[in-house]
Amino acid sequence: MVDNRTQPQPKQGFWARFTGAAKDKESEPENARTRGRLPPQPSRPNVVLFGERKSGKSSLINMLVGRDVASPSNPDLAAFASRGYAVDVGGREVVVWDSVGLQKEEHHDALSEGAERNLQGLIQNIHGGLNLLLFCVNAAGVSKALDLNYDAFYSIIGGKKVPVVLVVTGLENKDPMEGWWKEHEAEFERHGLRFDGHACITTTRGKPLRDGPGHWHDEQYEQSKLAVKELIKAKLGAAVIIREEGKLAELRELLREQNEVATGKNADKGKKEWSLGEMEGTREVHRGYGSTHVERRDDDRTDRIEREGRTAAFALLGGLFAVFVFLQSGVITCF
């Protein structure tokens, strides 16, 4: 009996070698074929943060990231300039694009060249799709630019297909902060600004405490950070691919209408006036920090209490000293 294992095997032809190699490749483990290369990474969800300057966007970014990485945008920057920041929201990383919004002072018939380039850059940055729009509003800085930015980002850039949520900043002295939305939700509805969710927050820790570590608004600050992260995670939608085609023309038309309203040429299309006003317990955010009129009143009250306490202590010490002197003089007289 012949053992074929010891006999030389006939040389395979080209087709046999080719088909055999294909079979070997099919049976090769998946990780063997990708050895030495990183597996494809899933794209991170994109969130575009927008709003007027001084609405607290930079402070919001710093709060979400956990350190100071963003600073207020240069006032010379044109609209739609953007910069991305990686933010962890409950174990999932997203990219939040801090963008420059349209300003209430901008009454032009057309976008500037810089704004057009910035918009093109923003759309390229979110080429993988847009998952959420985050509208940042300062509770004490409501203006007609609310309508303008909502229409620009939600209606035109997002095509009314991307979820949009509202974040109201500057509410560290409102107790509870959520009460602001309950008082003003109807006003947003009256203007046609509707949202898939909201958060009423503060983006500042406030002044350092005098009698120990920490700051005035540490508790509200931590609550705010958690609230915004949970809001983002809960409202992320499926990625919507944003196309540049037609966006610039629609934005130009929006600005043209805005300009006509501002100059009184087309008052019929004008938006209703906002009647939110400045609420007690809110403040205008300037770079996310600074004292408030309420804080100043609190400081004055604290200073007054401290002064009164010191005065009472000195009076008590003076009285005790007088008694001591009287007793001493009495003892001396007896002797």
Residues 240-269, mean pLDDT to the nearest whole number = 81
pLDDT tens digits, 20-62: 544 444 444 444 333 444 444 468 999 999 998 889 999 999 9
Other C-beta atoms lying within 10 Å of the C-beta of residue 239: 16
Band (304; pLDDT cuts 50, 70, 90): low
Cα(116)–Cα(248) distance, rounded to whole angstroms?
Answer: 7
Contact 223, 199 (CB under 8 A): no
Q: 209-220, pLDDT tens digit by residue? A: 998 899 999 999
Structure tokens at 71: 């600073």
The band of 10, judged by pLDDT with boundaries at 50, 70 and 90, is low
Measure Cα distances from 152 to 145, 186, 222, 265, 287 in Å: 10, 22, 31, 21, 24
* pLDDT average, residue stretch 175-187: 95
Sign of CA dihedral 252, 262, 49, 163: negative
Q: Output the CA–CA distances (angstroms, integers) from residue 255 to 148, 268, 313, 320, in the order listed.
A: 8, 16, 66, 76
CA contacts within 13 A on the Cβ side of 124: 9
Q: Report the pLDDT value the prediction gives residue 35, as an integer from 0 to 100.
A: 41
Residue labelled with tokens 């508790």: 219
Q: Where are the alpha helices (DSSP H) in the chain?
A: 14-27, 30-33, 57-65, 113-125, 145-150, 179-190, 218-235, 247-262, 293-334
Query: Mean pLDDT in the chain?
Result: 78
- H/E stretch holding 93 reads strand 92-99
State pLDDT tens for residues 149-159: 999 999 999 99
Q: pLDDT class for 80, splitting at 50, 70, 90?
A: very high
Q: For the chain, state the CA radius of gyration.
A: 32
Which residues have CB under 8 Å from 102's CB, separation 6+?
Answer: 52, 79, 145, 148, 149, 152, 255
